[in-house]
Structure 1
Amino acid sequence: MKHIRIYNQVFRIEKTVYNIQGIPLPIPVSYRQLAFFVGALFVMLLLNTLPILSWFGNYYLLKFVGIPILVSWFFTRKTLDGKAPHRFLFRYFEHLLSHHHFARYQKLEKTPNEKYQYEGEVSFRFDSGGDNI
Structure 2
Amino acid sequence: MKQIRVYNQVFRIEKTVYSVQGINLPLPVSYRQMAFFVGTLLVMVFLNKFPPISWIDYFLIKFVAIPVIVAWFFTRKTLDGKAPHRFILRYLEHLFKAHHFARYQELEKPRDNCYKYTGEVTYRLTSGGDSK
Q: Distance in 1 between matches of 2:53 and 2:26?
A: 30
* TM-score, normalising length: structure 1: 0.77
In percent, how many aligned pairs have the same letter? 69
In the TM superposition, 1:102-113 aligns within 5 A as 102-111=101-110, 113=113
Contact persistence 2:56–2:62 (CA under 8 A): no
Equivalent residue for 1:94? 93
What's the CA shift string for 1:21-45, capped at 9, x where partnerless? 1111000010000000001101110
Q: What is the number of equivalent residue pairs in this alignment?
A: 112
Structure 1 equivalent of residue 82 of structure 2: 83
Runs of 4 or more, structure 1, over 6 Å off, are: none
Paired residues for 1:25-44 under 5 Å: 25-44=25-44
Q: CA deviation at 1:111?
A: 4.0
1:51 Cα deviation after fit: 4.7
Structure-2 change in CA distance of 1:116 and 1:97 (3 Å): farther
- Give yes or no for the alignment of 1:6 onto 2:13: no
Paired residue secondary structure (2:74) = helix
Structure 2, unmatched stretches of 5+, are 118-132
The SS at the match of 2:92 is helix
Highest CA radius of gyration, 1 or 2?
2
Tell me what 1:46 maps to. 46
Q: RMSD of the alignment, in Å?
A: 1.9
